[in-house]
Structure 1
């Protein structure tokens, strides 16, 4: 079927496109006899080993499987056993803010925190008291304190405002993320530009974000769509894509002059295709489910299973470290040469985000997560959602196996030479 220009663009921005375009890459690899893969050797017979590894972690951490939350930024903001989020909510309630305003503020905080949550590298840390917190949780805590101090609003309130983000400069960034010569953050320039672009997006779309350009105002837009608190995940998704697609850096793929976001070209046997991941948008969508469903209008959201597993290095690293996927020697050698050129650990292969290796790795991650879910549920005798499997199992397991195998850095088995806006 020939699609019109608008339909083509709409499809590539849709949540439905993620599984469908990725399957064009991973389909053969996950078939019988392990299929074929361009860049990886795929051993699906080792998936049982992955399932057992996850089972040990899930049973260790959760006595009641019903307690497993949806994977989201909320848990990172509460890392190290400190319930920062509930403390904030109690403070706002005591100040007289109603449930709608609490929901707006939660969305303000979570949106900013997710947008700055690309890989931080293995050297940067945020210091909270005497505790050093690195990687995704460190970025979460940095964003939390910037929000709490009013650094993201025009009136020093605990909100987020587009005009403030639009004028965000290096001094603001260095202060908020504790940047120094000894504490450098991967993708420094890219992150600052992403924050400014987020501010522009908020200002440019008052129909979504209101005249005061707040992420949290999206709840009122969502309610008006159906004049009801019953909405479909695709409606949430379309609002996020409409609101935030323009924030991605120049140089990314565009179609008919419109940015596509986290989408990449990949050559198959039948020709070049565009593969869609939309990882940060998916991460944001997952992360907003809790405030949308528990506060304000208390939305009832259908079709949540349309979202995929997140194609990032913790989930993907788990499958690599447990031997389900292994780089073919030719591409391993290319990656090791890249590490020498970029100045990374020479024992870990490195690739850029648009590399066919990275695109395929991310596609395989999505396919393998879907294949893993029924296996784990069968062993547990349960019906975990995919988002719960990621939260209680794969993301956490990816981190733990990385720390076991690479204790000095706990980094991924494949490095991404990133601009701070991917993964």
Structure 2
């Protein structure tokens, strides 16, 4: 495979291009190899989502923030992150360092944000409040950050450093995330290994992450690459392209992905997978040498990009970032579950049998598995196709919602106020005992 082909598969544009081939194939054939597709159910999805948006925002749609980890860090306390910023400013921390600290916190928090399972809960320190799933992981990561567990700087606990992460062990993880036999967290060992690999990756790239090996050094790296555009006689704005952010994350963090993922030319691609449906779909505009069966998602890198936009645009240098529309909807179980629960997607009978058989196997070996919810491993065609179709359906859903609201939401706003939340709420209605998704992932703690 050529260098050009490798770079394409690591690019942000490859996500929409490779997954759309699968989506278009499913539209033309009433489904893919693993799912049936019924677009006639999409208006029901749009109605449900619009009701949630109106409930939570009234008609003030412009106030909907872009989807990002910041809101999860504030779960249960609307100003948790803002209070930290006020504290830093009161202590005389310079504005650029505040941006670095926010990037430190957000990068760590995003990278521990794989599915937590249906039972794990985090108890907020000093209270009896418990919170699970993605929000619980976020709040737990916040407390690890503020207590200094992620910093090797004795004079400044509010940092994330490669030195601290590379020695972050299972005991510290269990304490920080309150993991126990009575409170199991899916993929805990995988998360510990991922944190340690993040530390090693930060230490290995001082050109990106600086002498302290901090995620926050991205702020300075991007500033050095920016073009400064004068907005007025007394103001100038450093401008970067989303691709600049993307390239820094892909170059700096590729080594954190576990073995067993798709590898080309000896280089791991991260969240990229082989799919039989893709091999059958019409060829896209990929460069020569790209295998016809590979689809890319790069979900955690996209989640990082979404989450870093606020600190990069509003703090420190206050970058102007172009081409943000390159990002896609996030192919994870809340968005995908929304479409499945409304009947837009339905597992084909053979795929359903495989998923239920695996669930029964796990249940027989002592895992907390349901006999009615199919379970698959991340590499299986049912999961990969589900994720491809989720990306396409989110693009399909956006104009339907905007037409109903009579307002032009952007895709990150649709996910924040609508699809992510709607997926969670319909799951709670249909499966009140767990609130879990209609299809489970046998997670290693590193995939959505």
TM-score range (shorter-chain normalised) is: over 0.9
Contact 1:232 1:302 (C-alpha < 8 Å) held by counterparts: yes
State the alpha-carbon separation in 2 of the partners of residues 302 and 413 from structure 1. 37
Q: Does 1:194 align with 2:188?
A: no
Contact 2:105 2:160 (C-alpha < 8 Å) held by counterparts: yes
Contact 2:30 2:36 (C-alpha < 8 Å) held by counterparts: no
Work out which of the residue numbers 64, 72, 76 in structure 1 matches 2:72.
76
Counterparts in 2 of 1:122 and 1:36: CA distance versus 1, 3 Å: closer
Q: Which residue of 2 aligns with 1:261?
A: 270
Contact 1:266 1:272 (C-alpha < 8 Å) held by counterparts: no
Offset from partner CA, 1:164-221 (integer Å, 9 cap, x none): 1001111111111011110111001100000000000100000110000010010111
Runs of 4+ in 1 over 3 A off after TM superposition: none
Q: Which residue of 2 aligns with 1:173?
A: 173
Most deviating of 75-84 and 301-310: 75-84
Q: Does 1:358 align with 2:383?
A: yes
Structure 1 residue 81: Cα displacement: 3.9
How many corresponding residue pairs? 418
Listed as ranges, the matches of 1:159-308 within 5 Å are 159-228=159-228, 229-267=238-276, 268-269=279-280, 273-308=293-328
Q: Which residue of 2 aligns with 1:153?
A: 151
Structure 1 residue 269: Cα displacement: 2.4
State the alpha-carbon separation in 2 of the partners of residues 282 and 400 from structure 1. 23
Structure 1 residue matching 2:212: 3-state secondary structure: coil
Most deviating of 351-360 and 219-228: 219-228
Structure 1 residue 40: Cα displacement: 1.1
Please give the TM-score of this superposition, normalised by the length of structure 1. Answer: 0.97
Unaligned regions of 5+ residues in structure 2, if any? 229-237, 282-290, 364-368
Q: Which residue of 2 aligns with 1:130?
A: 128
Most deviating of 64-73 and 148-157: 148-157
Work out which of the residue numbers 13, 17, 39 in structure 2 matches 1:16.
13
Structure 2 residue matching 1:231: 3-state secondary structure: strand
Structure 2 residue matching 1:264: 3-state secondary structure: strand
Q: Does 1:106 align with 2:133?
A: no
Structure 1 residue 83: Cα displacement: 1.4
Offset from partner CA, 1:259-304 (integer Å, 9 cap, x none): 1000001123268511100000000000000000000010000100
Offset from partner CA, 1:359-401 (integer Å, 9 cap, x none): 0000000000000001111111111000000000000000000
Work out which of the residue numbers 359, 373, 386 in structure 1 matches 2:398.
373
Contact 1:111 1:284 (C-alpha < 8 Å) held by counterparts: yes
Unaligned regions of 5+ residues in structure 1, if any? none
State the alpha-carbon separation in 2 of the partners of residues 90 and 269 from structure 1. 55
CA root-mean-square deviation: 1.1
State the alpha-carbon separation in 2 of the partners of residues 409 and 360 from structure 1. 25
Q: Which residue of 1 aligns with 2:45?
A: 50
Offset from partner CA, 1:120-164 (integer Å, 9 cap, x none): 001111001201100000000100000000000013511101011
Structure 1 residue 35: Cα displacement: 3.1
Q: Does 1:142 align with 2:151?
A: no
Q: Which residue of 1 aligns with 2:286?
A: none
Structure 2 residue matching 1:368: 3-state secondary structure: helix
